[in-house]
A and B are shown apart, each in its own frame.
Chain A
Amino acid sequence: MALLEVNDLKTYFRTDDGVVRAVDGVSFKVDKGQTLGIVGESGSGKSVTCLTIMGLNPRRTAMTTGHAMWKGEDLLTAKASRLREIRGNEIAMIFQDPMTSLNPVHKIGDQLAEAMRLHEDVSRRQARKRGLDLLKAVGIPRADRRIDDYPHQFSGGMRQRVMIAMALINNPDLLIADEPTTALDVTTQAQILTLIERLQHEFGSAVIMITHDLGVVAEIADDVVVMYAAEIAEQGTTDQIFKSPHHPYTWGLMGSLPRLDQNVERLVQIQGQPPSLLRPPPGCRFHPRCPYVMQVCKEVDPELSPAGDDPTHLQACHLDEETKKREAAKLLAGMMAEAS
């Protein structure tokens, strides 16, 4: 049994303008010790998916259907008290912005200890000791002194490490990292990624890594979900996605990345903007921006179906296999003409 199995998850928000379909039928699973990367543009529903799993959406406006089976227990129907037991204990989350997710008026040592004492019956001293060990583990220099500092006394990279230490304090089985390195310099990003990998090795946790950086995904993920406009465009193993991408959106994402290891005259650009989730386009949601659009794309929403004969590699696109193979090969050879 998978550690977490999400099935046909839908999250709609009621707003004054109408119903926003923020997540519209997303399924994936994560096994123990595995890393799942979720990529997509801002507003594609990556973060909402994870917030829904954690039960952190506003209860008044969010409507959720589907299942999120955590060790056989559905998180979406679980009681609030049960969710509180799981959150921060079995499933922990690292939020995107380390500047705003720590409480500025408490010492970080106290914040770390609180996270632990909520879930386990330990003394203050024990909790502090564990907090100190973790600060050392995440590489904060002079941790025995820094533990009594306030968040503003740390730099961005250091605060992000404190967040990671806090997420790990109860040895979670699943760590959800929402763009943990986006606000950081490359050098700090390298430190944090190395750290997450090492901790995953030591504790055997599973990781869901939400990011818009395909480079980060290529380096640390085992499986990848590509999201576009609240739906899954393509999903598969990292090798499948990077070696034989099947969806024009994935091609666009890959082509729009400037590469360190090659000179490209012009980047492939995806035309236009992501659609509004209030009134998503009919048919395939990517069709207004897709350079390969056909009549059928405007009318029929493509099913998420196996790519070729590989049942683990799923994609939602009407293009025929031949064209996809040819275009993907062209892209990978770096020859793809600008999609216009």
Chain B
Amino acid sequence: MTQAQAEAAAAAQATGDELLVVDHLEKYFPITRGIVFQKEVAAVKAVDGVSFSLREGETLGVVGESGCGKSTMARCILKLLEPTGGRVLYRGQDITKLSRAEMRPFRREMMMIFQDPYASLNPRKRVGFIVAEALQVHKLGTDAEIKRRVQELLEVVGLNPEHYNRFPHEFSGGQRQRIGVARALAVNPKLIVCDEPVSALDVSVQAQILNLLKDLQRDFGLTYVFIAHDLNVVRHISDRVMVMYLGQVVEHAYRDELYTAPKHPYTGALLSAVPVPDPEIGRNRKRIVLEGDVPSPINPPNACRFHPRCPRFVEGRCDVEEPELVNRGGPSTHVAKCHYPLERWPLSEEDMRRAPAGV
């Protein structure tokens, strides 16, 4: 861990009222060769040193292209995957080393909503069972109480409580996602990790689910980690936004700072790539088009991982020295991992390609 990151993490912990602190989280998937003697030949560095903290009632948005490690990070936070390194603190307690049994009380506090409402509900179970399962596992009440609670939950998420006995296939995509939300809410969690909860839905249904998530946050004081690749959606729901690239955080700031004054060229490129539903703006706007795909996380580029695709790449600096995730102008809470941050926004592609100041 670099000095700056250590300080940032320490500062985050100092205030003491964080619900969740993620400290230099790492998840490497080994690549092995051989059948009997499996020799590790390389590792996919899916998450490589991610740190952040989250206060109660806050929403952290996480964005990045597919393959940047967003979902792996989410699964590591909930210990659905065992992290390779780093710590996850929930209310100040390190949960990364806990056994399954020790973890159980924490499972009631943190829940997940999954991306695909078609794949995340068991097609052979009735909706009532799916939503009640967590209650039964944690032995929260008698059968009658659980049934009442489930019907109440279905009502909270905007479904008809009488649909208790139906199967998932009888519902549309948006309704299924509501079942997923009801299931996550069943045990009164504090933290909900949403992994692309609306990307499989139509825009009109997407709006219904986003409004629902916002209402639930207000009513139950929920804390969200909200993962999405749609920057519009993330802007709508988040208090703070974290941009990930190849397993690392490249920029982290309060929502308005990030969207009005991005510092990292990757954030700039992402923002400029989003189509705007306004023909006048759309036609006159220049997209900053990134060349190529995300490089392989097995063998990520040296130094700054974004340098092979970066429009402001400076030879001899960006490919030699890894930038730190520190404040690059603007409010001190705004950090970016770049040697040559953007001076202003919006920036045309020509301006962006022009040699950054001081080279």
Contacts and interface: CB of A to CB of B under 8 A. Distances in A.
Nearest to B206: A256
A237 to B, nearest CB: 9
B274 A260 contact: yes
A190 B270 CA distance: 9
Chain B interface mostly:
helix
B348 interface: no
A189 interface: yes
Nearest to A155: B293
B287 A190 contact: yes
B273 A187 contact: yes
B203 A242 contact: no
Nearest to A332: B278
B204 interface: yes
A139 B291 CA distance: 9
Interface string B265-292: 0000111111111111111000111111
Contact of B275 (A157, A219, A263): A219
A253 B203 contact: yes
Interface stretch (B12-20, B111-119, B207-215): B207-215
Given A186-B231, A258-B233, A267-B236, A215 B210 contact: no
A144 B130 CA distance: 52
A194 B275 contact: no
Contact of B211 (A188, A260, A266): A266
Interface string B286-325: 0111111100000000000000000000000000000000
A269 B283 CA distance: 27
B235 A194 contact: no
Interface in A253-284: 253-261, 263-264, 266-270, 273
Contacts of A3: none
A216 B272 CA distance: 13
A302 to B, nearest CB: 20
A41 B204 CA distance: 8
B58 interface: no
A239 interface: yes
A261 B272 CA distance: 11
Contacts of A264: 236
A253 B269 contact: no
A257 B206 CA distance: 9
Contacts of A253: 203-204
Interface string A136-173: 00010100000000000001111000000000000000
Contacts of B172: 273
A157 B290 CA distance: 12
Interface in A173-227: 185-191, 193-194, 212-219
A111 interface: no
A101 interface: no
A258 B277 CA distance: 10
B229 A185 contact: yes
Nearest to B259: A260
A123 B239 CA distance: 60
A267 B271 CA distance: 20
A238 interface: yes
B211 A269 contact: yes
Contacts of B120: none
Given A253-B204, A259-B277, A266-B211, 12 more contacts: A186-B65, A186-B231, A194-B287, A212-B203, A238-B279, A258-B236, A263-B235, A263-B236, A264-B236, A270-B208, A273-B174, A273-B175
Interface of B: 65-66, 172-175, 202-208, 210-211, 214, 229-233, 235-237, 255-256, 259, 269-283, 287-293
A-B pairs, 8 with minimum CB distance: A215-B275, A256-B207, A258-B236, A190-B273, A219-B282, A267-B207, A258-B232, A214-B277
